Amino acid sequence: MTDCVFCKIFRREIKADVIYENDSFFSIPDANPIDPGHSLVISKKHFENILDLPNSTGPELLDCIKKTSEILIKKYNCEGFNVINNNFESAGQLVKHIHFHIIPRKKGDGLKFFA
C-alpha cells in the first residue's frame, strides 16, 4: 500500500522513533497520545486488520507487545498498561493497517476504557 501512513513509516519515508522491532513488527510512539507513553505496535507487512494477520505471526506480535510494554513501564514508571486493537471503522480503526495501542497506566490516572 503506497499511501498507507504506517507503510511509509516502516519504509522510513516518514520519520518516527522506533521503540522496538523484530522481523515482523515494530513499535513507535503514537502521534496523538491519549496519555504519556501511548505507543503503537505495527506490522511491517500491510495487513488491514487482525482477520488478515497470519496466525504464524503470533509469537512475534506477542514479543513486540511485551518488549515494548517493558520499555514503557521502565521509562514512564507506570504500574500497568492496556493493549487495545480496533478492527474496522465501526470499532474505531482509523488507519487500515493492523496496529495495537499500548497505553501505560498509573492508579488514578483517570483514563476509562471498560468499566
User: Which candidate in 38, 46, 97, 99 is catalytic?
Assistant: 99
What is the gyration radius of the CA atoms in the chain, in angstroms?
14
What would the DSSP string read from start to end of 31-79?
Answer: SS-SSTT-EEEEESS--SSTTTS-GGGHHHHHHHHHHHHHHHHHHHT-S
The grid coordinates listed for 103 are 497505553
Q: Left, alpha or beta for 108 (phi > 0: left; psi -120 to 50: alpha)? A: left
Q: Yes or no: say if 24 and 58 are a contact pair by the CB < 8 Å rule.
A: no
Active site residue 46: no
Q: Give catalytic residues, as residue numbers.
A: 99
